[in-house]
Structure 1
Amino acid sequence: YEILSRGRELIAEREEQILHLMVGETGFTLGDCRTELNRCLQTFAASAEEAKRLTGEMVPITAAPGQDERRIAFTVRKPIGVVCAITPFNSPLNTVAHKVLPAIAAGNAVVLKPATYTPLCSAVLCEVLAEAGLPPGYLNMVTGGGGTTGRTLLHDQRVAYYAFTGSTEVGREIQQAAGLRRTQLELGNISGTIVCADAMLEAAVSKCAAASFRKAGQVCTSVQRIFVESSIADEFVDALCRKTQSLAVGNPRNASTFVGPMIDGKEAQRIENWIIEADREGAEILTGGDRDGALVQPTIITGASSDSRVLTDEAFAPVVTVVPFDSLDEALAGVNATPYGLSAGIFTKDVTRGLDAIRALDMGNIHINDTSSSRVDLMPYGGVKDSGHGREGPRYAVRDMTEEQLVVINPG
């Protein structure tokens, strides 16, 4: 508790230094980086509290027939061992915190392999924890590519638990190598959000624009597909285009910038090719679509064919496609029509429609009157289907990173 609480204080003291480091490593805007840092502080605080709350429970074995009433049974939770945390570039501080801090709170040692794009943010977190009093050897950071360093870690039998955020392809490889060892995998997604005719339109437009284009769309819960009820589709699309065109695009170090560059020029060129491909297939590019180096203008597409890559593959870019629907069942089927199941949202004032969505959507997270990108760091967070398994969130991760042991005391 004391180490994690002190670590939180040190992160807060170095806020400006960390912000500028994060902007430099990722290209995310100052606003995005400030949000991430503030969330990281909450993850520190929650993990510290969970370190005090890690308890077992009494087991009422005397309720079974024929048991000696003097027998006592209870469970204790013990550290699972060495936790290997493999983290992505798109959340170089808070996702690292979500894997490292609960592991430490549970009493484990950690080997951290950060993304090759963003090792410095992870190094700062390691430095802060060491300064806060974490004993040597409890947190070890190694750098390198997934095909080299990552594979070496996968085949090291000293690792008891793998916590990974990244692609489904790599997640499958980790699960195969882990065998009977425990894993928490937060993998790919193609997020969908539904906007019904009775939704509060202004709120839906504002939230969808923010969730589509923050961090240049490079978030696994970024809104990539918006299903809009046909009767309001034109009105919604017009408002979304106006909102998107009002977003400042450019230098991430400018406080007013909302959309900065993608992680590198190769990724930006990839999504530009997807946009060109959709256009050739008959889709309409309503706004955006242009690229300057790694900077891609926030893009809204309509009329895409059902097999277009902007609908069937994870874009991980500032591109959103709007799809009209006539019945809610049609929209729910559309949201579910991917191999993934991380998160979804629906805007409606109708409680019945909200409940229908909860029952129908095969997702780890469902948000009513919010987008698929809504998240609070205290909640259990994770997916189903090809989006992985296990849950982040300090309370849930701490328990998963321990082994439950039963103790039975018989009268002497």
Structure 2
Amino acid sequence: MFTNLCCKNKIYKNLYNGHWIESNSNKLIEIFSPVDGSLLGKVQAMTTEEVDMTIKNTKEAFISWKETSLSDRTEILYKAADLLDENSEEMATLMMMEISKDKKSCVSEVVRTADLLRFTADTAKTMQGEALVGDSFPGGSKSKMSFVSREPLGTVLAIAPFNYPVNLSASKIGPAIVAGNTVVLKPPTQGSLSALYLAEIFNKAGLPAGVLNTVTGRGSEIGDYLATHPGINFINFTGSTEVGQHIASLSKMIPLLLELGGKDAAIVLEDANLETAATNIINGAYSYSGQRCTAVKRIITFDSVADKLIPLLKEKIENLKVGNPDEEGVVITPLIDNKSADYVEGLIKDAKDSGATLITGGTRKGNTIYPTLFDNVTTDMRLAWEEPFGPVLPLIRVSSIDEAIEIANKSEYGLQSSVFTQDIDKAFYIAKKLEVGTVQVNNKTERGPDHFPFLGVKSSGMGTQGIKYSIESMSRPKAIVLNLK
């Protein structure tokens, strides 16, 4: 299937009006594998004139797409989901080589995305609007009735991240198009091949020409142009806080849905099941080498807990398999690029130099950072506050629950936190005080299931995702009031 996207010399095209076309810019971006350095392909660096053409095409397609029946829209999502299942192995292999995620997780991402699209179609069928009678409000009239439906916004700009190029592209595209919008997909540079494959899935599923177009190029060159384009009616972005804040500063009156960074804390109380806590913390902190916004990025606990928890963590960390993502059972793989590895290595060095206790790890081979655990991290160290986006975990010791809450809330981020305890009252006490979008009780921080609300506060995001919430975000209510007298 992927051959439609590619021409000679591994040059990949862009989807425009239902066809795969080449750019006139004559500029190409080479995509190398972080696994072995091999050249996977070249994507086009589109010009601003081509961006104009692409957006204009979505505006033309919107005229008929918004009038398309919900039944026809959902049928396309069901077909796309089936195609994802049929091509999961091929997509997963490409993704594995492109973003250095282990093969099992890549397959899981594709299958999960198929489920997301089916659930999106199912959910949309239940969101048909409502009828309100006037006399249900004090002093209202029986002669008035309001019919409230949902209307699409227009053209949605979907900007996806490298770490989930299929799932976090589809979680934007699916709700947008089922609501009647058209979409311009800006894939991540690293991850663009996987995202373009997804676009072809929608194309093959029968999505009408122009409803989904793709734009490739470096965000530094066309990102601002896209974000400020008068033809864009909504921006749905997942990525770094720095870029998200920049987009927000540019967008003016364009509504936004932003999923940004995190510094998710795992607070472990004295009555916690430490085996459960250790297993969840390890899975949360180190899967995909910690390159997840919802990764556990710090442990906050008491001396009595830390002394028992650290040996459990150390043993589990040292049993994690390090290697290339095509090896069975590998958890720790090379980071996405040299810049990322340099940054994580810098955080490790600062923690060592600042007096933190290195429990295990702390070494680098190429772009692979070995899973690392620090104890006795203090609040004057960078690792206590900065998001590593790598397999490095600090443990911060506190003397009280309120101190743990205070340190957790001092972060600029507010995505998720975990609380490990057998005391439900303490769990709710802490959960209510934490300044985050979601609190996980006795589980790792994580996204999903995909119909749950997913949001961040402070520098972790704006707006609420999750299938129903995403559809609502990318549509608006419209009221028609019937006056019977």
Q: What is the TM-score of this pair, normalised by structure 2?
A: 0.83
SS at match of 2:210: coil
SS at match of 1:54: coil
More strand by proportion, 1 or 2? 2
Aligned equivalent of 2:195, options 101, 108, 122: 122
| Compared CA separation, residues 366 and 279, structure 1 to 2 (3 A) | same
The reply to whether residue 213 of structure 1 matches residue 286 of structure 2 is yes
- Which residue of structure 1 aligns with residue 118 of structure 2? 45
Q: Are the counterparts in 1 of residues 80 and 114 from structure 2 also a CA contact under 8 Å? A: no
Deviations 1:287-323 (A, max 9, x none): 1111111111000011223121111111111000011
- Which residue of structure 2 aligns with residue 100 of structure 1? 173
Q: Which runs of 5+ in 2 are unaligned?
A: 1-73
Q: How does 1:315-334 map to 2 (within 5 A)?
A: 315-334=388-407
Supply the distance in 2 between the matched residues of 1:103 and 1:63 (Cα, whole angstroms).
33
User: How many angstroms does 1:124 deviate by?
Assistant: 1.1
The reply to whether residue 134 of structure 1 matches residue 207 of structure 2 is yes
**Which residue type is aligned with residue 411 of structure 2?**
T
- Which residue of structure 2 aligns with residue 300 of structure 1? 373
Deviations 1:348-402 (A, max 9, x none): 0001110111211011011111122353211110101111111111111001111
Supply the distance in 2 between the matched residues of 1:326 and 1:39 (Cα, whole angstroms).
41
SS at match of 2:330: coil
| Compared CA separation, residues 301 and 67, structure 1 to 2 (3 A) | closer
SS at match of 2:125: helix
The reply to whether residue 312 of structure 1 matches residue 400 of structure 2 is no
**Which residue type is aligned with residue 30 of structure 1?**
K
Q: How does 1:158-237 map to 2 (within 5 A)?
A: 158-237=231-310
Supply the distance in 2 between the matched residues of 1:152 and 1:129 (Cα, whole angstroms).
26
User: How many angstroms does 1:228 deviate by?
Assistant: 2.1
Q: How does 1:8-407 map to 2 (within 5 A)?
A: 8-63=81-136, 69-373=142-446, 375-407=448-480
Q: Are the counterparts in 2 of residues 212 and 224 from structure 1 also a CA contact under 8 Å? A: yes
User: How many angstroms does 1:176 deviate by?
Assistant: 2.0
SS at match of 1:170: helix
Paired-residue identity, %: 36
Q: Which moved more, 1:255-264 or 1:235-244?
A: 255-264
Supply the distance in 1 between the matched residues of 2:194 and 2:453 (Cα, whole angstroms).
24
User: How many angstroms does 1:97 deviate by?
Assistant: 1.1
Aligned length: 412
- Which residue of structure 1 aligns with residue 22 of structure 2? none
SS at match of 1:100: helix
Deviations 1:132-172 (A, max 9, x none): 11001000110111121211111111111000111222112
User: How many angstroms does 1:7 deviate by?
Assistant: 0.4
User: How many angstroms does 1:280 deviate by?
Assistant: 1.0
Q: What is the TM-score of this pair, normalised by structure 1?
A: 0.97
User: How many angstroms does 1:270 deviate by?
Assistant: 1.8
| Compared CA separation, residues 405 and 374, structure 1 to 2 (3 A) | closer
**Which residue type is aligned with residue 49 of structure 1?**
D
| Compared CA separation, residues 306 and 141, structure 1 to 2 (3 A) | same
User: How many angstroms does 1:215 deviate by?
Assistant: 1.0
Q: Are the counterparts in 2 of residues 380 and 393 from structure 1 also a CA contact under 8 Å? A: yes
Supply the distance in 2 between the matched residues of 1:306 and 1:65 (Cα, whole angstroms).
54
Supply the distance in 2 between the matched residues of 1:65 and 1:304 (Cα, whole angstroms).
58
SS at match of 2:183: strand
**Which residue type is aligned with residue 236 of structure 1?**
L
Q: Are the counterparts in 2 of residues 194 and 228 from structure 1 also a CA contact under 8 Å? A: yes
**Which residue type is aligned with residue 281 of structure 1?**
S
Supply the distance in 1 between the matched residues of 2:430 and 2:166 (Cα, whole angstroms).
33
Q: Are the counterparts in 2 of residues 32 and 214 from structure 1 also a CA contact under 8 Å? A: no
User: How many angstroms does 1:65 deviate by?
Assistant: 6.7
Supply the distance in 1 between the matched residues of 2:239 and 2:251 (Cα, whole angstroms).
16
Q: Are the counterparts in 2 of residues 193 and 335 from structure 1 also a CA contact under 8 Å? A: no
Supply the distance in 2 between the matched residues of 1:65 and 1:44 (Cα, whole angstroms).
42
**Which residue type is aligned with residue 254 of structure 1?**
E
Q: Are the counterparts in 1 of residues 120 and 175 from structure 2 also a CA contact under 8 Å? A: yes
Q: Which runs of 5+ in 1 are unaligned?
A: none
Supply the distance in 2 between the matched residues of 1:357 and 1:106 (Cα, whole angstroms).
37
Q: Are the counterparts in 2 of residues 204 and 370 from structure 1 also a CA contact under 8 Å? A: yes
